[in-house]
Amino acid sequence: MGLVLSTHSLTWALLTPVPEDRLIRTGSVLLNGRELTDALNELQQEPEIKDVDARLILPAGTYQFLLTEAPAVQDTELVSALRWKIGDLLNYDASEAALDAFLLPEDAYRGRQRMTYVAACPKAQIISYEQSFQRAGMGLQRIGIPEIAGFHLAQRLNEEGEALATAFIGVQETHLCLLHDKRLYLARQAPLGWARLRTSDDYDQLVLEIQRSLDYFDSQIGKGTIRRVLISPHIKATELAEYLNQNLTPTVAVMQLAEPINEHLSGAAADETLAIGAVLGALL
């Protein structure tokens, strides 16, 4: 099960990998100011949710996602080296940070310098989430971030040798993943979600954010021009995709997932696609 936590809700997606990746159900639990433990207890009242392996996706604002030069060290020493490299970029002591690193392909940025993304979250916050799951008697397999959950789903949609952009639109923000040949080259967050995407002016702001990413990918990453943009399914996604398609050079469409997954998408919860991505990361 994938779980995406936001300030207002806990969105979930339950999949089974046997005999193929198949979505069983999705849903969302409103927090209404409650603790995460209370939401997990409510979630476990669902008949399908017993003895599941859960993957939690951190909410925006609880972590930092930084791009920096990769230190010239062995992969096993990468996180330790990065802890001190990014220390000045954190608003708390680097020794108190839980870190994960995601090396970009060697040919990113035209091979000038090996780059890496670093995700940083206070250890105390991670421990708090782990304790919430323990109190609810629920297994927590891994804690991740939206950018990487989105990437795991985008990989399934990226054709061989293709440069592809995906936009996972949540309640308050959009997570953009730009890939080439199933490898992640650029990930960023835009402060626009369904709560703000109401008028053509709001749509224009998203056009600007996507175009900025496309231009950067073309000019700096050096992996060709993106000709296809996919946005995450939602009850309002078709209208938005049509507007984006008219105002961006690449073709824009709503993601079409594999039928065993697509047939059970509700489209009502903004974060359900990221919840699916969290699970697919465990199945790769």
Smallest CA-to-CA distance from 237 within 263, 264, 268 is with 268
Domain for residue 278, yes or no?
yes
Indicate whether this model's pTM tops 0.85: yes
Q: Is 129 a member of any domain? A: no
- Structural domain span for residue 182: 146-283
State the CATH number of the domain containing residue 208.
3.30.420.40
For residues 277 and 156, give the distance between their C-alpha atoms in angstroms, rounded to a whole number: 10
Domain count, the chain: 1
Assess if residue 90 is contained within a domain: no
Q: Which of 54-63, 88-97, 115-124, 266-275 has the lowest mean pLDDT?
A: 266-275
Instruction: Identify the pLDDT of residue 282.
Output: 62
Q: pLDDT at residue 284 above 60?
A: no
Instruction: Tell me what the mean pLDDT of segment 96-110 comes to.
Output: 94
- The answer to whether position 158 is within a domain reads yes
pLDDT score, position 283 = 59
The answer to the question of residue 184 being in a domain is yes
For residue 137, being part of any structural domain is answered with no
Contacts of 250 (CB under 8 A, 6+ apart): 165, 214, 226, 227, 228, 229
Give a yes or no: residue 240 inside a domain.
yes
What would the pLDDT profile of 250-265 be if each residue is shown by its tens digit?
999 999 988 888 888 8
Query: Residue 104 falls within a domain, yes or no?
Result: no
Return d(Cα 7, Cα 193) in angstroms, integer: 13
State the DSSP string of the chain.
-EEEE-SSEEEEEEEE-SSS-EEEEEEEEE-TT--HHHHHHHHTTSTT-SSPPEEEEPPTTSSEEEEEEPPSS-GGGHHHHHHHHTGGGSSS-GGGEEEEEEEPPTTGGGGSS-EEEEEEEEHHHHHHHHHHHHHTT--EEEEE-HHHHHHHHHHHHPPTT-EEEEEEE-SS-EEEEEEETTEEEEEEEES--TTT--SHHHHHHHHHHHHHHHHHIIIII-S----EEEE---TTHHHHHHHHHHHSSSEEEE----HHHHTT--S-STTHHHHHHHHHHHH-
